[in-house]
Amino acid sequence: MEHLYLSSRQTDGSSFMELLMGTFSSVRIEANSDLLETGLSGADDHHSLKRVLTYGTFDLLHYGHIRLLQQASKLGDYLIVGLSTDEFNALKGKKSFYSYDVRREMLEALRYVDLVIPEDNWDQKPRDIKMYHADVVCMGGDWAGDPRFESLKDICDVVYLNRTPGISTTEVKGKLAQ
């Protein structure tokens, strides 16, 4: 089986993918995290990809999550998702229905997501921004004004996206419990 590895989404994904599918028996597109950590910046520390970073638990993945990730992906060329680990969720007093590994697998299957990294604590965000050369951090609008994200404005852009009305993981869990 032949594989073609690309380091980012293409702006004209559909026609490019049609061309690839006609050429290869299978196509595998993967993010190259080594390039993110070391290679895409030049001597002047500018890089060619606009990188967007968001965080969340993404438990019981639903259309509100999908819309948020779709909007986040439109803010740049490469979307990195900091996924809360089970241990971090426990520290926050949350328990996920799905384990970290299952949630990571679901996110990695989405076309909008290029890389999933573990979110272990509240304080890692500045380090993640530097390590992955993030240009933008985006979160749902319910986080607007939170000092944990407002403080990041010194090192990158911070964008708050509107939540999808009528859907939340808490609401889904409540309906399932009825």
The C-alpha R_g of the chain, in whole angstroms, comes to 17
DSSP-derived 3-state class of residue 107: helix
Show the tokens assigned to 137: 């951090």
Residues in the chain: 178
Q: How far is CA 51 from CA 32, 101, 131, in A?
A: 13, 23, 11
CB of 7 closer than 8 Å to CB of 35: yes
In sequence order, what are the beta bridge partners of 106?
none
Active site residue 94: yes
Residue of 50, 74, 94, 130 marked catalytic: 94
Residue of 50, 74, 92, 130 marked catalytic: 92
Residue type, 129: I
Query: Residues with catalytic annotation?
Result: 92, 94
